[in-house]
């Protein structure tokens, strides 16, 4: 199969669909990979690195889209990219279609086979191609929070781990899933005093076992949450209610009563945030202050560490890319229900029920669309 990797064109997006190491795996499987010039430049991969891995480097995205049978990207295709998609071409990337009518309309029109990273599932009920970004964001949240606690950022002027003779900061993590567990791990590693709140007793059991008691795992009632948040120096918001906006667990009233100079990193901001006073910010200006509480609410945290994020994403996507290339999309989808769950739009039909419902399209079963 001919696989195409265009350079990402969304503002400040430096990640790339395939690393040179991933290219080499595909070439070893007897496929051809076309990479747009400078596609990996932002994270230190030169065209020569790609050529050494066996890729052919082409000058424009138009050439890549014209020749490739499968396009592998990171972000959803922008309007100019969508115009280059063609019937029968495979698109494998993040799509996030539910809130994006123009993109969905264009993908329907293209008649391409559009598989979204974010809806591919696994045996444990997880989303394996979203998980790496939650790991990155969870770990980064502690770096961001540590910085927010510095005096020059408006924080209390506290070191997360304290020093011998001085107590560490109290970090409260709301939600003990992928983001929360990774945040807790970093915070414990830095020597902070860490508490995780969750609504799932299974999650609390896992946290307790995983950290051998070094992290307090507390059931998240309104009462417990209030007590913990008011005592915290740093709060990390990592809740998720699948398919819904994040619940506003930290209220305006809590913010007013929190310690002056304390900080909140609301990682769940991409789902609207779990703090009433949160509003999305960017890496250019990541924080703002409400009632003396520093808020960090960057909606695309992994974008700040695109090199790590690209490697993490490739580790998760590569097995699927290889299967799609080796078997062809039909067989690869039929053989793997989890990959099939990633199919969002195909041959002009919407094949994901939530996307169809959100945007008012009729839903066509993926298997029906596949055999049409």
Ligand X SMILES: NC(=O)c1ccc[n+]([C@@H]2O[C@H](COP(=O)([O-])OP(=O)(O)OC[C@H]3O[C@@H](n4cnc5c(N)ncnc54)[C@H](O)[C@@H]3O)[C@@H](O)[C@H]2O)c1
**Rounded to the nearest whole angstrom, what is the least distance from the CB of residue 133 to ligand X in the complex?**
5
Please choose, out of 13-21, 55-63, 195-203, 351-359, the segment that lies near ligand X by the rule CB under 6 A: 195-203
| Binding positions for ligand X, 292-331, rule CB under 6 A | 299-302
How far CA 347 is from CA of 4, 62, 90, in Å, comes to 20, 21, 10
Give the nearest distance from C-beta 185 to ligand X in angstroms.
13
Q: Is 6 in the site for ligand X (CB under 6 A)?
A: no
Binding mask 163-182 for ligand X (x = CB under 6 A): -----------xxxxxxx--
Q: How many residues bind ligand X (CB under 6 A)?
A: 32
Q: Which of 49, 96, 338, 347 is catalytic?
A: 96
Beta-carbon contacts of 222 under 8 Å, excluding residues fewer than 6 positions away, are none
Distance CA 20, CA 233 (A): 42
Write out the binding residues for ligand X, residues 250-289 only, by CB under 6 A: 267-271
| Closest separation in Å from C-beta 91 to ligand X | 22
Name residue 264's beta-bridge partners. Answer: 235, 295
Does position 209 interact with ligand X (CB under 6 A)? The reply is: no
Distances in whole angstroms, Cα of residue 307 to Cα of each of 18, 160, 304, 334: 11, 26, 9, 33
Choice between 128 and 328, CB closer to ligand X: 128
How many helices (H) does the chain have, and how many strands (E)? 14, 15
Task: Examine the residue annotation and report whether 270 is marked as an active-site residue of this protein.
Answer: yes
Applying CB under 6 A, the span of 240-248, 319-327, 335-343, 359-367 interacting with ligand X comes to 240-248
Q: Does position 185 bind ligand X by CB under 6 A?
A: no
Contacts (Cβ under 8 Å, ≥6 apart) of 341: 119, 120, 121, 366
190 binds ligand X (CB under 6 A): no
Size of the chain, expressed as the number of residues it contains: 372
Strands of 287-290's sheet, edge to edge?
Answer: 216-219, 193-198, 170-174, 234-237, 263-266, 293-296, 287-290
Helix (H, G, I), strand (E, B) or coil at 296: strand
Question: Catalytic: 96?
Answer: yes
Binding site residues, ligand X, CB under 6 A: 133-134, 137, 174-180, 197-200, 203, 220, 238-241, 246-247, 249, 267-271, 299-302
Catalytic residues: 96, 270
């Amino acid at each position: 199969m001919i696989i195409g990797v265009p350079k990402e064109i969304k503002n400040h997006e430096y990640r790339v669909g395939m690393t040179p190491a991933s290219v080499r795996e595909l070439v070893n499987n007897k496929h051809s990979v076309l990479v747009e010039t400078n596609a990996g430049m932002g994270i230190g991969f030169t065209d020569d690195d790609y050529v050494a891995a066996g890729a052919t480097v082409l000058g424009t995205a138009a050439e890549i889209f014209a020749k490739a049978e499968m396009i592998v990207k990171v972000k959803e295709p922008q309007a100019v990219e969508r115009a280059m998609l063609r019937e029968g071409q495979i698109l494998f990337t993040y799509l996030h279609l539910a809130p994006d009518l123009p993109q969905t309309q264009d993908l329907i029109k293209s008649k391409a086979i559009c598989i979204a990273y974010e809806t591919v599932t696994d045996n444990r009920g997880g989303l394996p191609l979203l998980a790496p970004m939650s790991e990155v964001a969870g770990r980064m949240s502690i770096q961001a929070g540590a910085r927010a606690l510095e005096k020059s950022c408006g924080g209390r002027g506290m070191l997360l781990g304290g020093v011998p003779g001085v107590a560490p900061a109290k970090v409260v993590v709301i939600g003990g899933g992928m983001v929360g567990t990774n945040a807790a791990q970093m915070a414990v590693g830095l020597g902070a005093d860490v508490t995780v709140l969750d609504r799932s007793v299974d999650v609390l059991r896992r946290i307790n076992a995983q950290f051998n008691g070094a992290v307090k795992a507390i059931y998240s009632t309104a009462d417990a949450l209030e007590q913990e948040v008011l005592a915290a120096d740093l709060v990390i918001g990592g809740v998720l209610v699948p398919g819904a906006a994040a619940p506003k667990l930290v209220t305006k009233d809590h913010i007013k009563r929190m310690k002056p100079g304390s900080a909140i990193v609301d990682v769940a901001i991409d789902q609207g945030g779990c703090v009433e006073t949160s509003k999305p910010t960017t890496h250019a200006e990541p924080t703002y202050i409400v009632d003396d509480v520093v808020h960090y609410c960057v909606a695309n945290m992994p974008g700040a560490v695109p090199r790590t994020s690209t490697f993490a994403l490739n580790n998760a996507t590569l097995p699927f890319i290889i299967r799609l290339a080796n078997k062809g999309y039909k067989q690869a989808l039929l053989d793997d229900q989890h990959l099939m769950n990633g199919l969002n739009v195909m041959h002009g039909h919407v094949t994901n029920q939530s996307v169809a419902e959100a945007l008012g399209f009729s839903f066509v079963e993926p298997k029906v669309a596949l055999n049409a």
